[in-house]
Homo-oligomer: A and B are copies of this chain.
């Protein structure tokens, strides 16, 4: 049947993978509270005590899990955004920057769930890690927006960009979860909504930038003004793109 004589370290690594896989599946079915060395070891086919050959404790396994998943997603997002920036005209590519994370989340939803739970659980040893991860996503997203031409040269605008990135990331997670729950069968539709959310907010940024402070939000005739001069396509490209 097998014919594959494994070396000792190969066998160990295999067992380690089995433990990780088992943990993921239990996490998926029962959540973090259902996770125990007993269950994971048993599901991986080894004795409970052997769990400690591979991990110092359960927290270490969880961290490994979170890191692996996060790394993969971040890499694919970076790539998608880079491509979109290189071909600025391509709407499909731009939407792609939203579809990539959506798909990535849907591929391993438990990984996002761990992060979300950890971020909101003061007792989780992963909390700091999850908070840092979320901050990295947020700041990276904000930096990408800045690269698209939404220069943030003062404190307020920087904060706004960060809020937009924060909000959009949260919305992305929410829509991915909705897809998994069967509410939004088409991920492209979700990506469209995210694009629209993002652009709407960015328009505000342009509109009320600190440059021409002539406009306190509300002037006769133009309730929430557009940059003077350019009142074009309502779904127009960001300033630096066309």
Chain A contacts to B: CB under 8 angstroms? 28-34, 91, 112-113, 116-117, 120-124, 156, 159-160, 162-164, 166-171, 173-175, 178, 183-184, 189-190, 192-205, 207, 217-218, 222-226, 231-237
Question: Which residue of B has the minimal Cβ distance to A179?
Answer: B163
Name the B residues within 8 Å of A184 (CB-CB).
159, 162-163
Name the B residues within 8 Å of A122 (CB-CB).
28-31, 34
Inter-subunit contact A175/B166 (CB<8 Å): yes
Tell which of B113, B200, B201, B204 touches A121, judged by Cβ atoms closer than 8 Å.
Answer: B113
A120 to chain B, nearest CB (A): 4
Q: With A122-B31, A123-B31, A233-B222 as known contacts, state yes or no: A162 contacts B183, CB within 8 Å.
A: yes
Interface of A is mostly: helix
Inter-subunit contact B167/A197 (CB<8 Å): yes
Name the B residues within 8 Å of A168 (CB-CB).
171, 197
Inter-subunit contact B121/A33 (CB<8 Å): yes
Inter-subunit contact B194/A197 (CB<8 Å): no
Report the bound CA distance from A190 to B164 in whole Å: 9
Q: With A32-B123, A33-B124, A235-B203 as known contacts, state yes or no: A178 contacts B166, CB within 8 Å.
A: yes
Taken together, the copies of this chain in the complex come to 2
A90 to chain B, nearest CB (A): 11
Inter-subunit contact B117/A120 (CB<8 Å): yes
Inter-subunit contact B120/A197 (CB<8 Å): no
Name the B residues within 8 Å of A190 (CB-CB).
163
Name the B residues within 8 Å of A224 (CB-CB).
233, 235-236
Name the B residues within 8 Å of A225 (CB-CB).
233, 235
Question: Which residue of B has the minimal Cβ distance to A193?
Answer: B163
Which of A168, A184, A224 is most buried by chain B, counting CB atoms within 10 A of its CB?
A224
A133 to chain B, nearest CB (A): 14
Report the bound CA distance from A174 to B236 in whole Å: 27
Name the B residues within 8 Å of A169 (CB-CB).
174
Inter-subunit contact B34/A91 (CB<8 Å): no
A175 to chain B, nearest CB (A): 6
Inter-subunit contact A223/B236 (CB<8 Å): yes
Inter-subunit contact A167/B162 (CB<8 Å): no
Tell which of B31, B156, B235 touches A207, judged by Cβ atoms closer than 8 Å.
Answer: B235
**In the complex, the 8 A-B pairs of residues with the closest C-beta atoms, listed nearest first:** A200-B200, A167-B171, A170-B174, A196-B204, A31-B123, A224-B235, A31-B121, A113-B120
